[in-house]
Amino acid sequence: MSANPGRPLRLPAAAVPAGCPSWSGEHPRRWLDALPPRWVPLPSRTGHLMTASAAAAAITGLLALPAGWRPWAAALLALHALWLCVRPEIVPVSAPVLAVLLVVLRPGRLWPAAVIVLASVWAVAVLRLVARRGQRERVRDAAGGITAPLPDAGRSLPRGLLLVGCGGVLLALGLAAVAVLPAHGPDAGEGARALPATAWLVAGLGLTTLVSGLLGRRRATVLRDAAAPVLRVLVREGADGDTEVFAADDTAGVRPLFRVAVTEVRDGDAEPDDPDDEDGTEELEDGTEELAEFLERIDREGPGPPREAVLYGVPCDGAEILLVTAAGKADAPPVVERSSGPVRPLSEASVRRLTAGEKRRAARRAAYAELRRSAGEAVAAEAVAGEADGAAPAGVRQWRAGLLHRLCALLLVLWGSGFFWGATGGWRGALGALAGFVGALWLPHWLAWRITADSEGLWFNGLRGPRHLPWDEIRTVACTSTELKVDSRRASFTPWSAAAPRSPLAVAGAPVRARASARADRE
Q: What contacts 386, CB < 8 A, 6 or more positions away?
A: 392, 393
Lowest mean pLDDT among 145-149, 288-292, 325-329, 455-459: 288-292
Range among 255-269, 307-321, 469-483, 507-521 with highest mean pLDDT value: 307-321
The reported pLDDT for the residue numbered 266 is 77
Give pLDDT tens digits for 373-397: 665 565 555 545 555 554 444 456 7
Per-residue pLDDT band at 107 (split at 50, 70, 90): confident
Q: DSSP label at 9? A: B
Q: What is the pLDDT of residue 67?
A: 82
What integer is the mean pLDDT of 273-288?
48
**Beta carbons of 354 and 256 less than 8 angstroms apart:** yes
> What was the pLDDT predicted at 49?
82
Burial of 516 (0-12, 13-18, 19+ CB in 10 A): buried
Q: Please give the pLDDT value at position 253.
A: 86
pLDDT, position 368: 65
For residue 393, the model assigns a pLDDT of 44
Distance CA 165, CA 227 (A): 30
**Looking at the domain that runs over 391-401+449-522, which CATH code has it been given?**
2.30.29.30
Checking if the pLDDT of 517 tops 50, the result is: no
Amino acid code (one letter) for 114: A
User: Is the separation of the CB atoms in 498 and 483 below 8 Å?
Assistant: yes
Q: Which helix (H) or strand (E) holds 97?
A: helix 91-105
Is the Cβ–Cβ distance between 139 and 33 less than 8 Å? no
pLDDT tens figures, 122-138: 999 999 999 999 999 99
Nearest to 498 by CA among 510, 515, 514, 482: 482
Q: What does the DSSP 8-state code read for residue 458?
A: E
pLDDT band at 361 (very low <50, low <70, confident <90, very high): confident
Ramachandran sector of residue 84 (left: φ over 0; alpha: ψ -120 to 50; beta: rest)? alpha
Residue 46 has pLDDT above 60, yes or no: yes
Strands of the sheet containing 467-470, edge to edge, are 397-400, 450-454, 457-460, 467-470
**pLDDT score at 465:** 76
Spatial distance between the Cα atoms of 31 and 136, rounded to a whole number of angstroms: 8
Q: In percent, how much of the chain has pLDDT > 90?
A: 40
pLDDT digits (tens, 9 = 90+) for 395-447: 567 777 777 777 777 777 776 666 556 555 555 566 666 666 666 667 777 77
> Three-class SS of residue 41?
coil
3-14 pLDDT tens trace: 445 688 999 999
Hey, where are the domains in the chain? 28-145+152-218, 391-401+449-522
What's the CA gap between 141 and 133, in Å, rounded?
Answer: 13
Burial class (CB in 10 A: 0-12, 13-18, 19+), 94: buried
- Taking alpha carbons only, the member of 177, 230, 208 closest to residue 71 is 177
∠ CA 163-169-173, nearest 5°, is 145
Helix 190-225 with 71-86: angle, nearest 10 deg: 30
| pLDDT for the residue 503 | 45
Q: How far is the C-alpha of 413 from the C-alpha of 401, rounded, in Å?
A: 17
Q: Which residue has the higher pLDDT, 447 or 155?
A: 155
Percent with pLDDT over 70 in the chain: 73
Q: How far apart are CA 112 and CA 1, in angstroms?
A: 47
Are 84 and 209 in contact by the 8 Å Cβ rule? The answer is: no
Average pLDDT rounded to a whole number, residues 50-79: 89
What pLDDT does residue 249 have? 92
pLDDT (tens digit per residue) in 189-242: 555 678 888 999 999 999 999 999 999 999 999 999 999 999 999 999 887 778
Q: What is the pLDDT of residues 87-97, one digit of tens each?
A: 999 999 999 99
Q: Would you state the pLDDT for residue 375? A: 55
> What mean pLDDT is predicted for residues 260-267?
86
Query: Is 424 exposed, middle or buried, given 0-12, 13-18 or 19+ CB atoms closer than 10 A?
Result: exposed
Buried b (16+ CB within 10 A) or exposed e, 355-373: eeebeeeeebeeebeebbe
Is residue 363's pLDDT more than 60?
yes
- Please state which of the ranges 50-64, 420-434, 482-496 shows the lowest mean pLDDT: 420-434
Mean pLDDT of 22-43: 91
261 in helix, strand or coil?
Answer: coil
Query: What's the rounded Cα separation, in Å, for the pair 211 and 22?
Result: 34
Classify 402 as helix, strand or coil.
coil
The mean of the pLDDT values for the chain is 79
